[in-house]
Chains A and B, each alone.
Chain A
Amino acid sequence: MASTKKDPVIVVLQLTGGNDYLNTVIPYNDPHYRDNRPAVGVAEDRILKINDNVGFHPEMAPMQRLYDQGKVAIINGVGYANSPRSHFRSMDIWHTCEPDKLGTEGWLGRVTKDLDPNKENVVTTVSFGPSLPRALALPGVPVACVDDLDTFGMLPTISETDQRNKILDRFTRLYSPTIGSGFVMDYLGQTGLDSLKAADILKVAPAKYNSTIEYPDTTLARKLRGIAQVHMADLGTRILYCDHGSFDSHSNQVGMHDKLWHDVSSAVESFFDDLRENNAGENVIMLLFSEFGRRVHDNGSGTDHGAAGAAFVIGEGVKGGEYGEYPSTNTEDLEQGDLVPNTDFRSVYTTIAENWMGLDANPLVGGTFEKPSFV
């Protein structure tokens, strides 16, 4: 199971709900920023300036530290033409790479299939969360969905060890091919045994894990710690997925956005500290994306759905810095009051698929796109 050479790994952290780009990577020298943000604008002395034009949100100090080490790529103006400004639709487009029609296959489902065409490893892709994100969905491609690594497995309610072992032994016998016949019974049997196998493989991760890093006590930090545990257990896992939210800050944005970025930045820093301490970071990059940015002019309390946003790619193998232009904030350049995307989100995927994972991106993202050189 454990690989001898270090295969590239991608961690995705989805910022669900539409992150406010303008208050995340703040164009502090742009007079339009102040004009458009009377209610939710960040005071200039609090902005964590990273160059002469932009600075991070004040709660992103950990991200700034990673940025200063050259490990953070900021991809400006990410999105796609004719943003529908609907959470569901936009997220679906990001997940399926189908902006013009309804897609059913997730792009990372296709990546999983490329990486493991014969389904040799049932934990090639692991998602932390209760439901399968459409990005990972592809019929016939197994994905382990984990809520909590410590209790992951069949029948967690039977917790007493001896009793549990007896039950799981019984389960294995009940699912064996010698019992029952016919396609459906066989299929159910194989799938049940696959589930057990995934649980068996993954349960070694917390036991093998040894780290002095103390993660913050947040939901996201727990997910990222689980991801670190799976990654460091050398199980052959190549894609790890989680999300955090909701970033849908229509009202009372200030406190809400502060808390969100405090949680994201601190958890991400702990994660990379953990990988570094365990010498396990060089083959990992993390992609942070959100389904859209938010409206340029605030609504007096928050911001409404917009178009262009920022994506971040973080890791030791990342060439840090800014990529792409910050979209113009001039009123005449906005579309329906929103920043116009100038980097297609599939460009970000293309770089990751080709330069990082070593795959042919075209069939995975449905076309040929520019390839910003952040890795």
Chain B
Amino acid sequence: MAKQDIALMAHLMRRAGFGATREELEALVEKGYEQTVEELLNTEAQPALDRYELVRYHPWTWKPGTLPGMGSVEWLWFMVNTKRPLEEKMTLFWHHLFATGVSKVDHYDEITMMVAEFREKGMGSYKDLLMSMAQNPAMIYWLDNCENHAHAVNENWGRELLELFSMGVGNYTEVDVREVSRAFTGWTIEPKLPRGPIGRHDWHFTYQEDDHDHGEKTFLGETGNFDGKDVIDIICAHPATASFIARHLYNFFVADEAQVPAWAVTPPQDQDAIDTLADALVESNYDIRSTLRVLFNSEFFKNARFARLKSPAEVVVGTLKLVGGFEFPAPGIGEMSRQPNYMGQDLLNPPSVEGWHTGTEWINSGSLMRRINFTADMVGDTGRPGVKSMIDHLKADNSISPGAFVDSCLELMGPLEVNKETRQELVDHAQINGDLNWGNESETSSERVSEMLQLIVSLRDYQYA
């Protein structure tokens, strides 16, 4: 099997999912790249996960309310076990984009429901999703549209809709913000019922006609008696929207871009790629599946191996999938779901409506140590099925030279590509104990493999996706 094919397939699976094991990669290469892209896109051909499977073992994951740290257990279980990796990756994408958090929304339940909505609709039309978000109770509360009244306009949702969810700064005026906000007056939530004896009541969207501003509005040069739906139509007809979503897709799936607030002043690193994706969005009437097909089959995607840093969710889920043994919702899943938070990504609680800053901003001295120690702890456990399987691979040869030992480990851990100085350091390290032999040295050799894997995950190179 050609080494380059495996490397490319590993790249695809890291980006369109949360990585794949060596065995999975080999099977996918047999199938071919384009076919694999189609299977990833065709999410509904695979069975959906049943959340009740999890609830059966961990009833407290059902509407965990305000229990700190409990919110992302269900999501972690989905990310690790899904048979539809791209669907789950897009769910994460939309959570980055429509960043909504418990720091303001009182409890996890409504945001978990928002995440379920991303899962259900995230591969379809962006325009439909935008409409769903405009009516999503958590979003309405998060951005104060419940305080946006016909006679007292609150611009929070209207502004973020334009600035962060669709067009980006620089494509509209302050008057437009005002007019958009007017169009969404009366889009609110039903009064929240007090907590019942067995928990909370869900929140519900409602349209209050008597609190809607029925007057004429002018938005981006068009005038009419607009409501929110008309505004979304106008937004989606504007080319800035397709470019803005394209740049988000590029930053999430292809290569690290500048942080969102800098986009108005910093051009994209690959304008042609953004244009290609924006065209795909427009031509498909904002169909995400069609756009992702273009993205994954493009040369700019295939050439972008290791061009971004992993998000904490990618670090944790990727590692759990690599070492295996986390499929069953075993005790301890709660602690696992907090790991991304320890690395700086508290799922369901982004730092602000702007979402997380990505790329190097994930990394500080504390978070880097967390990443390394968590991953090293996992790959250092020779009892885990994925680690065992890597050791078995190495056992195919009775005796392995330090150079071949390092190369095989790098191959099994990715394949991971490192520069030659780094490789030399690893070889020097392996050299300390000479050739890797099996037979009666089996136990020591397994420990040596475990140590080499730990050293590999502590490399800077391993932080790249």
**Per-residue contact bits, chain A 150-179, to B (CB 8 Å; 1 contact, 0 not):** 000111111000010011001101110011
Task: Say yes or no: is B46 at the interface (Cβ < 8 Å to chain A).
Answer: no
Task: Say yes or no: is A283 at the interface (Cβ < 8 Å to chain B).
Answer: no
A170 touches B422 (CB 8 A): no
User: Which residues of B sit under 8 angstroms from A92, Cβ to Cβ?
Assistant: 103-104
Task: Say yes or no: is B372 at the interface (Cβ < 8 Å to chain A).
Answer: yes
A179 touches B422 (CB 8 A): yes
**Per-residue contact bits, chain B 446-462, to A (CB 8 Å; 1 contact, 0 not):** 00000100110011100
Task: Say yes or no: is A363 at the interface (Cβ < 8 Å to chain B).
Answer: no
**Per-residue contact bits, chain B 427-465, to A (CB 8 Å; 1 contact, 0 not):** 011001000000000000000000100110011100100
User: Which residues of A sit under 8 angstroms from B376, Cβ to Cβ?
Assistant: 155, 157-158
B366 touches A132 (CB 8 A): yes
Bound Cα distance from A189 to B422, whole angstroms: 13
A195 touches B377 (CB 8 A): no
Task: Say yes or no: is B42 at the interface (Cβ < 8 Å to chain A).
Answer: no
Nearest Cβ distance between residue B110 and chain A, in whole angstroms? Answer: 12
Bound Cα distance from A187 to B454, whole angstroms: 21
| Interchain CB contact (< 8 A) of B366 among A157, A195, A246 | A195
User: Which residues of B sit under 8 angstroms from A46, Cβ to Cβ?
Assistant: none
Task: Say yes or no: is A330 at the interface (Cβ < 8 Å to chain B).
Answer: no
User: Which residues of A sit under 8 angstroms from B338, Cβ to Cβ?
Assistant: 130-131
Task: Say yes or no: is B230 at the interface (Cβ < 8 Å to chain A).
Answer: no
CB proximity to A under 8 Å, residues B203-217 = none
Range of interface residues on A (Cβ < 8 Å):
35 or more
Task: Say yes or no: is B190 at the interface (Cβ < 8 Å to chain A).
Answer: no
Question: Could you count the A-B residue pairs with CB atoms below 8 Å apart for me: how many are there?
Answer: 134
User: Which residues of A sit under 8 angstroms from B373, Cβ to Cβ?
Assistant: 154-157
Task: Say yes or no: is B175 at the interface (Cβ < 8 Å to chain A).
Answer: no
A187 touches B368 (CB 8 A): no
A170 touches B425 (CB 8 A): yes
Task: Say yes or no: is A227 at the interface (Cβ < 8 Å to chain B).
Answer: no
Given contacts A157-B380, A192-B460, contact A145 B366 (CB under 8 A): yes
Bound Cα distance from A156 to B353, whole angstroms: 36
Bound Cα distance from A171 to B459, whole angstroms: 8
User: Which residues of A sit under 8 angstroms from B413, Cβ to Cβ?
Assistant: none
| Interchain CB contact (< 8 A) of B360 among A137, A145, A163, A187 | A187
User: Which residues of A sit under 8 angstroms from B364, Cβ to Cβ?
Assistant: 142-143, 191
**Per-residue contact bits, chain A 133-149, to B (CB 8 Å; 1 contact, 0 not):** 01001010011110000
Residue from A104, A145, A179 with most neighbouring chain B CB atoms (10 Å): A179
Nearest Cβ distance between residue A306 and chain B, in whole angstroms? Answer: 15
Given contacts A154-B369, A187-B360, A189-B460, contact A173 B425 (CB under 8 A): yes
Task: Say yes or no: is A218 at the interface (Cβ < 8 Å to chain B).
Answer: no
Bound Cα distance from A130 to B68, whole angstroms: 14
Task: Say yes or no: is B346 at the interface (Cβ < 8 Å to chain A).
Answer: yes
Task: Say yes or no: is A81 at the interface (Cβ < 8 Å to chain B).
Answer: no
Bound Cα distance from A154 to B341, whole angstroms: 18
Given contacts A155-B372, A155-B373, A179-B425, contact A88 B460 (CB under 8 A): no
A88 touches B429 (CB 8 A): no
B419 touches A180 (CB 8 A): yes
A170 touches B455 (CB 8 A): yes
User: Which residues of B sit under 8 angstroms from A278, Cβ to Cβ?
Assistant: none
A179 touches B419 (CB 8 A): yes
Bound Cα distance from A188 to B360, whole angstroms: 8
A194 touches B459 (CB 8 A): no
Task: Say yes or no: is B297 at the interface (Cβ < 8 Å to chain A).
Answer: no
| Interchain CB contact (< 8 A) of A143 among B66, B357, B366 | B366
| Interchain CB contact (< 8 A) of A179 among B353, B359, B421 | B421
B353 touches A102 (CB 8 A): yes
When C-beta atoms are compared, the residue in chain B nearest to A189 turns out to be B460
User: Which residues of A sit under 8 angstroms from B429, Cβ to Cβ?
Assistant: 166-167, 170
Bound Cα distance from A102 to B31, whole angstroms: 48
Q: How many residues of chain B get a CB closer than 8 Å to chain A's CBs?
A: 50
When C-beta atoms are compared, the residue in chain A nearest to B461 turns out to be A180
Nearest Cβ distance between residue A259 and chain B, in whole angstroms? Answer: 19
Task: Say yes or no: is A87 at the interface (Cβ < 8 Å to chain B).
Answer: yes
A198 touches B365 (CB 8 A): yes
Bound Cα distance from A214 to B101, whole angstroms: 42
A188 touches B368 (CB 8 A): yes
Bound Cα distance from A153 to B365, whole angstroms: 11
Task: Say yes or no: is A22 at the interface (Cβ < 8 Å to chain B).
Answer: no
Bound Cα distance from A195 to B372, whole angstroms: 11
Task: Say yes or no: is B352 at the interface (Cβ < 8 Å to chain A).
Answer: yes
User: Which residues of A sit under 8 angstroms from B342, Cβ to Cβ?
Assistant: 130-131, 145
Task: Say yes or no: is A16 at the interface (Cβ < 8 Å to chain B).
Answer: yes
Task: Say yes or no: is B361 at the interface (Cβ < 8 Å to chain A).
Answer: yes
A132 touches B344 (CB 8 A): yes
User: Which residues of B sit under 8 angstroms from A195, Cβ to Cβ?
Assistant: 365-366, 368-369
Nearest Cβ distance between residue B34 and chain A, in whole angstroms? Answer: 31
When C-beta atoms are compared, the residue in chain A nearest to B344 turns out to be A132
Task: Say yes or no: is B202 at the interface (Cβ < 8 Å to chain A).
Answer: no
User: Which residues of B sit under 8 angstroms from A174, Cβ to Cβ?
Assistant: 422, 425, 455, 458-460
Residue from A102, A134, A246 with most neighbouring chain B CB atoms (10 Å): A102
User: Which residues of A sit under 8 angstroms from B357, Cβ to Cβ?
Assistant: 139
Task: Say yes or no: is B309 at the interface (Cβ < 8 Å to chain A).
Answer: yes
B66 touches A87 (CB 8 A): yes
User: Which residues of A sit under 8 angstroms from B428, Cβ to Cβ?
Assistant: 170
Nearest Cβ distance between residue A131 and chain B, in whole angstroms? Answer: 5
B458 touches A171 (CB 8 A): yes
User: Which residues of B sit under 8 angstroms from A167, Cβ to Cβ?
Assistant: 429, 451, 454-455
Task: Say yes or no: is A207 at the interface (Cβ < 8 Å to chain B).
Answer: no
B460 touches A157 (CB 8 A): no
Bound Cα distance from A334 to B101, whole angstroms: 30
When C-beta atoms are compared, the residue in chain B nearest to A198 turns out to be B365
Task: Say yes or no: is B273 at the interface (Cβ < 8 Å to chain A).
Answer: no
User: Which residues of B sit under 8 angstroms from A91, Cβ to Cβ?
Assistant: 103
User: Which residues of A sit under 8 angstroms from B352, Cβ to Cβ?
Assistant: 102, 104
Task: Say yes or no: is A86 at the interface (Cβ < 8 Å to chain B).
Answer: yes
Task: Say yes or no: is B349 at the interface (Cβ < 8 Å to chain A).
Answer: yes
| Interchain CB contact (< 8 A) of B432 among A134, A158, A166 | A166
| Interchain CB contact (< 8 A) of A131 among B106, B341, B372 | B341
Nearest Cβ distance between residue B417 and chain A, in whole angstroms? Answer: 12
Bound Cα distance from A144 to B107, whole angstroms: 29
Bound Cα distance from A305 to B352, whole angstroms: 24
Nearest Cβ distance between residue A25 and chain B, in whole angstroms? Answer: 25
User: Which residues of B sit under 8 angstroms from A187, Cβ to Cβ?
Assistant: 360, 363
Task: Say yes or no: is A43 at the interface (Cβ < 8 Å to chain B).
Answer: no
Nearest Cβ distance between residue B375 and chain A, in whole angstroms? Answer: 10
Nearest Cβ distance between residue B139 and chain A, in whole angstroms? Answer: 14
Given contacts A155-B373, A157-B376, A179-B419, contact A131 B346 (CB under 8 A): yes
Q: A91-B103, A158-B376, A188-B463 are in contact. List 6 more A-B contacts (CB 8 A).
A: A144-B366, A174-B425, A174-B455, A179-B421, A184-B360, A189-B460
A-B contacts, 22 of them at CB < 8 A, read A86-B104, A86-B107, A89-B104, A92-B104, A102-B103, A102-B104, A130-B338, A137-B351, A155-B373, A157-B376, A157-B377, A158-B376, A158-B454, A163-B451, A167-B454, A170-B425, A173-B425, A184-B256, A184-B309, A184-B359, A188-B368, A248-B66
Counting from the closest, the 6 A-B pairs by CB-CB distance are: A188-B460, A86-B106, A195-B365, A194-B365, A88-B102, A92-B103
